[in-house]
Amino acid sequence: MKLLGLKLSTSNSNSFVASRIMRINENTLLEGKDVVLVPYNEDHVPRYHKWMGSPELQKLTASEPLSLEQEYDMQRSWREDDDKCTFIILDKKLWANPDVQEQECMVGDVNIFLTDPSDPL
């Protein structure tokens, strides 16, 4: 399935069921020409935490500094959020190299907020 120029894959190649809960979406992979989006999981937290230690990034994202333990708690809460899916953006060339750890391929993150079109704004 193509979505905004990205190829959508799931662990079950026979079907795709859209889910509002990231836990159910945990095996979804969005693959583009240059990047791969994977669900934000606990393996990504140390590098994400390092990024978020940047005062400039904190300012740009209106974020407060968190301890590593708080960052793990945040990742778990985002994973269980019914209205948001958080994906880590990976450099596809690095990701394709089996000698490179996934965390070393991380170049960013993106959130997808799910809304009900019938809900008034």
Give me the tens of pLDDT residue by residue for the chain, a chain 121 residues long.
Answer: 334 444 444 444 333 333 344 565 677 899 999 999 999 999 999 999 999 999 999 999 999 999 999 999 999 998 888 778 899 999 999 999 999 999 999 999 998 888 888 887 6
pTM: 0.76
Domain boundaries, the chain: 2-113
Extract the tokens encoding 105.
Answer: 């391929």
The Cα 112–Cα 95 span in angstroms is 22
* Closest C-alpha to 70, from 90, 57, 52, 89: 52
